[in-house]
Structure 1
Amino acid sequence: MSKLVIKPAEERLRERIKELTCMYEVTSIIVNCDYDQMEYALKGIMRCLQKAWKHNKDAHVELITDQYTLRTIGFPDQSVALKSSIEVFNKKVGNIQVVYPTKSYAKSDFLLEEKKLLKTICLEVGNLLERKQIKDNEDLIKRKMEHADRLSILGEITAGMAHELNTPLANILGFSELLKTRITNDPQANRDLDKIINSAIFSREVVKKLMFFACEMPQQMDVVDIVPIVSDAFNLMQPSLKGKKIDGKLSFSKEGIFLKVDAIQLTQVIFNLMLNAIYFAPLKSVLNIMITENENNVEVAIKDQGPGIDAEIINKIFQPFYSTKPIGEGAGLGLSVVHGIVKSHKGSIKYLPNKPKGAIFVVQFPK
């Protein structure tokens, strides 16, 4: 029985059909791609490439980008490769290579048509990644706009709430203090009035934070030496530090640090960050406040030794009314107020984990 010999023309035609089939399948994958299932689509493209090669049973594909590292099953340790780059917005972000195992193949086993095909597929993958990046950017902008819109509405609501609450709170506080002066022989009534007065004062502070958040309190920006401002705020917090036997340490990089700020709002930032740190810090721990002047900014770093913040809620801590404290112990406005004040000063605030445990809040004010 004679052996079947495939003529060169037939072989080239068969390879050409495989290449065209690969291009058709890859195009179908890209057209129907779900951007949330990008890895699945890329794996499909790799399988199409694998089938298109002359020795497809021994061919393997590797796709590497700045976001993905994918290989076909059984990828050889030693291989000869045909490689082409992936570009996104004219920037190289990775490559695709098709390989044969070294023990059975050489570089010459790759066809010129396969090199052209690989280059074309890399171009298509780059276009796909570009479209995904554009969509991701559009989604991010949309979320930011929705968030800004919600904050704007929330600011209007909170401003109205603050104005509405101020009058009844002032009445409660005033009449309670007046009533206390009239009652002199009833200790229990005096204790009850003290509770009413303290609750009214607490509520007034919440209203003040609401007004800060809603930007209802006008800024008075002046170039001032922040060393005495921060020192005064730190000293006012000494009773709270002593109450938990916390060793508070305040340091400055130099004696006079001048910055254009609203002094009252800077005090509010220090108060809120210290109150948070003291609340979460364990007994007999250390709380460090470091003020450092650099060439372009002034940095305020507050470090505590508390439990720190879980990674899954870091993005929420500056949102208004979000609190990790038990109900009744926090309004969830402290960090959002700080965030608003810092942003209004064109500064930045970020959270870092303390080592070995605790939280660090770093505020930077531009000079």
Structure 2
Amino acid sequence: MHTAEQKLKERIKELTCLYEVTSLIVHSDYEQIEEVLKAIANCLQVAWQFDEETYVELETPIISIHTEERGEAYVFLESPIKVFNEPKGAIRVGYPSPKYSLDDFLVEEQQLLDNVCLEVGNLLERKEIKDNQENIRRQVEQADRLRILGEITAGIAHELNTPLANILGFAELLRERVEGDTRAVKDLDKIITNTIFSREVVKKLMFFACEMPEERSTLDIVPIIQDAIDLLRTTLAKNEVTCDLEVNAEQVLLRTDKIQLTQVIFNLVVNAIYFSPPKSTIKIKVTDKKDKVNLIISDEGSGIPKDKANSVFDPFFTTKPVGEGSGLGLSVVHGIIQSHKGSIEHAPNKPKGTIFTIELPKIK
């Protein structure tokens, strides 16, 4: 039986804990939320009746926290942490057993634990809301930058098309006239090669700026993907890389533009080949679902560095050496997928490499 003085002492400990937890949450920095949760676990440890033997476990999607163990087995009070009414973890406070049983916990301690879990759930909700707002803000800024850049690049592409066509045409005519001059022919071949490369960059700019005409129709995309892979057989063999295609249906019908879909597959597979080591495999998996088509391309290369993960779809961004990439391939892919009302994401492959996941809705 507790005396009035003992009961008062326990209430003071509980109220102090709740005050400290509330203060920690009110003044929390969302960038240091792990430190806040550790401090909350420590507050709970000293709030219990037998604080010197109290053990606390705090589990959330962000972090798992365990205070110093005081025994080998425990009897626990437990309360769930709910985020938007969904269980996203729990807090357990225990005493060593068999020294203690559930009867040794106070009713007020369960109430305190429930209140702390409620406060932690509110904290995680606010962090999730803030993270979502930050993601939306970045997406809006990115879309705005891409829109402006699209307008600029469309103008640049149109301005460059005519002079590049002239350079290529006159260089080819001149090459026919100087066939006997080996040095001149060699120099003209360089001009022609670089002009063709520049023309391809302009074509990618026009794809990015959505200036290329498209003709969408309902097509079986399996042979289109197979044709794109076949175009790269020589490059695959040269790099000692294999490419496997897996499809869950004989026909996968999708309303799309054949040239644009080929561009998507071509760019992603070329990138995968570039970063894949010899004797590795690039896997393409096509899954036909009721209202969408999923396309997954995975490689066993070096993967995308974490500090560059948010930039891979940016125009002119590339991790390739100077002269080996225009930085437009993935931004063109991103633009084409968006124009089809789809989505594209990337994630690390295991044990190494990258996985690109494309989701395209079946729009009639």
3-state secondary structure, aligned to 2:301: coil
| Partner in structure 2 of residue 151 of structure 1 | 146
Cα contact 2:276–2:302 (8 A) shared by 1: no
Matched-pair contact (CA < 8 Å) for 2:247–2:285? yes
2:210 is the alignment partner of 1:215 = yes
1:30 aligns with 2:25: yes
Could you tell me whether the CA contact under 8 Å between 2:248 and 2:287 is conserved in 1? yes
Aligned counterparts of 1:74 and 1:253: Cα–Cα separation in 2: 51
Structure 2 Cα separation of the partners of residues 16 and 358 of structure 1: 56
> CA offset at residue 245 of structure 1?
6.6
Partner SS for 2:53: coil
1:45 maps onto 2:40 in alignment: yes
Distance 1:48 1:357 in 2: 41
Paired position in structure 1 for 2:317: 322
**Once the 2 structures are TM-superposed, how far is the Cα of residue 318 of structure 1 from its aligned partner?**
3.0
Which residues of structure 2 form unaligned runs of 5+? Answer: none
Assess, with a 3 A threshold, how the Cα gap between structure 1 residues 96 and 75 changes in structure 2: closer, same or farther: farther
Rounded to whole Å, the distance in 2 between the matches of 1:365 and 1:36 is 35
TM-score in terms of structure 2 length: 0.84
Equivalent position to 1:121, from 116, 119, 124: 116
1:307 and 1:358 in contact (8 A); partners too: yes
Q: 1:101 to 1:247 in 2, by over 3 A?
A: closer
TM-score (norm 1): 0.84
User: What CA distance in whole angstroms lies between the structure 1 residues aligned with 2:88 and 2:287?
Assistant: 39
The separation in 1 between residues aligned to 2:9 and 2:165, in whole angstroms, is 89
Equivalents in 2 of 1:357, 1:72: separation in Å?
35
1:258-284: CA deviations, max 9, x gaps? Answer: 432112212322332343344445667
Task: Give 1:201 deviation, angstroms.
Answer: 0.8
Distance 1:247 1:165, change over 3 A: same
| Aligned mates of 1:345, 1:190 — CA distance in 2 | 45
Q: For residues 184-208 of structure 1, what are the alpha-carbon distances to aligned partners after superposition, in whole Å with 9 as ceiling and x for unaligned?
A: 4322111111110110011000000
Identify the match of residue 309 of structure 1 among 303, 308, 318.
303
What is the rounded CA distance, in whole Å, between the counterparts of 2:283 and 2:121 in structure 1? 49
Q: 1:87 to 1:256 in 2, by over 3 A?
A: closer
The answer to whether the 8 A contact 2:53-2:70 is kept is: no
Question: Match of 2:316, SS?
Answer: coil
Pair 1:341 & 2:336 matched:
yes
Greater Cα shift, 205-214 or 167-176: 167-176
CA contact (8 A) 2:59 2:91 kept: yes
Label 1:75 to 1:361 Cα distance change in 2 as closer, same or farther (>3 A): same
Q: What is residue 16 of structure 2 aligned with on the other side?
A: 21
What is the alpha-carbon distance in structure 2 between the residues aligned to residue 113 and residue 255 of structure 1?
64
Identity among equivalent positions (%) equals: 56
One-letter code aligned to 1:178? L
> Residues 275 and 120 of structure 1: is their aligned pair in 2 closer, same or farther, counting only changes over 3 Å?
closer
Paired with 1:355 and 1:123, the residues of 2 have a C-alpha distance of 37
Q: Work out the CA distance in 2 between the residues paired with 1:355 and 1:14.
A: 54
**SS of residue paired to 1:224:** strand
Report the counterpart of residue 254 of structure 2 in structure 1: 259
Cα deviation, residue 67, structure 1:
2.7
Letter in 2 for 1:307: G
Distance 1:293 1:59 in 2: 54
Which letter does structure 1 place at the counterpart of 2:130? Answer: K
Among candidates 151, 159, 169, match of residue 174 of structure 1: 169
Provide closer, same or farther for how the CA distance between residues 92 and 255 of structure 1 changes in structure 2, counting only shifts above 3 A: closer
- In terms of Rg, which structure is larger? 1
Q: Aligned pair in 2 of structure 1 residues 298, 30: CA closer, same or farther (>3 Å)?
A: closer
Contact 1:252-1:291 within 8 A present in 2 as well:
yes
Q: Is the 8 A contact 2:34 2:62 kept in 1?
A: no
Q: Where does residue 3 of structure 1 map in the other structure? A: none
1:272 is matched with which residue? 267
Aligned to 1:78: 73
CA shift in 2, pair 1:308/1:192, >3 Å: same
- Which structure 2 residues correspond to residues 52-131 of structure 1 after superposition, within 5 A? 52-131=47-126
- From 128, 148, 156, give the equivalent of 1:161: 156
Is contact 2:48–2:109 with CA below 8 Å preserved after alignment? yes
Quick check: 1:308–1:353 contact (8 Å CA) kept in 2? no
- Decide whether the 8 Å contact of 1:22 with 1:48 is kept in 2: yes
